[in-house]
Structure 1
Amino acid sequence: MKRQIVLGLALSALAAPAMGATAPSAVSFAEGAVAGSLTGTAGNPEEGMKVISDRGLGNCVACHVISAMPDVAFQGNVGPTLDGAADRWSEQQLRGIVADAKKTFDGTIMPSFYKNEGYIRPGDAFTGKAAEGELAPLLTAQQIEDVVAYLLTLKE
């Protein structure tokens, strides 16, 4: 019984930050920008750097070069360099671009990292079948805030 209570408390503690987050379908875009924080909690640039460079999370470096990350191998050249991102875009614009770049850049191939609906037949892993039910966004609301916080450190 004690183990169940402890497990329940641990799970509720993990879910607590997400409970206050703006749902992907409730994010309000104005000309591609998202004015307010998705979580009400400041982003952590160090965590954002992990998301950007982790091939299992954001994997931004697969398409973008970030000179401030010289130890991250195989940086891409598909998207623009993120060097100086904080000088080119505001915090609100960066939040919108990371959440759903398609709201800013028509025709972009950049994935929508904070979206869970409006897909055109998403697949169910490698089964060849359409996915069933609601899809989770690629990143959490806090991970979006963390990535934005890191991008705001990238100045020319």
Structure 2
Amino acid sequence: MTWQGAIAGGLMMMAPWSGFAQHVSPLRVVGDAIPQTLTGAPGDAARGRAIVASRQQGLCLLCHTGPIPEERFQGNLAPDLSGAGARWTEGQLRLRIADAQRLNPASIMPAYHRTDGLARVGANWQGKPLLEAQQIEDVVAFLLTLK
């Protein structure tokens, strides 16, 4: 079992994702990015911030530190999210959230929008992404505001 599979499996068991679509379209990766939106619609930065801050949904602050002062006990295992919008392009952020293991197979970052090749995923959550395509776009929109 990989770290990513274990983390993704654990995350999937922590919250009910029963409303998610069963089908996830293949990611169209170009170099180190997914240049096109997953939905054709822009993300909403306020919704993205809520996902990043959520201890039930994104769980980003479990590993990352970010400019969300109301959330205590932020992680230090992964890069600080402050300045993410200056360090990476929109497409680079999209790939890092959707499936960071495409860039670094040893990454412990969960694949938030991949459903294949994961380990220990509960039967009720198999074939369902951790975040829907629009939620990925929302997180990307929030991270882009962090200059």
What is the TM-score with the length of structure 1 in the denominator?
Answer: 0.75
Structure with more relative contact order (C-alpha pairs < 8 Å, separation 6 or more): 2
Alignment CA distance shift 1:123-1:41 (3 Å): closer
Q: Of residues 119, 122, 130 in structure 1, which corresponds to 2:120?
A: 122
Alignment CA distance shift 1:35-1:111 (3 Å): same
Residue 53 of structure 1 corresponds to 53
1:116 counterpart letter in structure 2: T
Alignment CA distance shift 1:72-1:132 (3 Å): closer
Residue 92 of structure 1 corresponds to 91
What is the TM-score with the length of structure 2 in the denominator?
Answer: 0.79
1:63 matched to 2:63? The reply is yes
Q: Percent same amino acid among aligned pairs?
A: 41
Residue 113 of structure 1 corresponds to 112
Query: Gapped runs of 5+ residues in structure 1?
Result: 1-14, 125-130
Alignment CA distance shift 1:70-1:40 (3 Å): same
The two structures, once aligned, show a CA RMSD in angstroms of 2.0
Does the CA-based 8 Å contact 1:33-1:104 persist in structure 2?
no
2:111 counterpart letter in structure 1: S
Alignment CA distance shift 1:41-1:25 (3 Å): closer
1:147 matched to 2:146? The reply is no
Structure number with greater Rg is 1
Taking the aligned partners of 2:125 and 2:103, their CA distance within structure 1 comes to 27
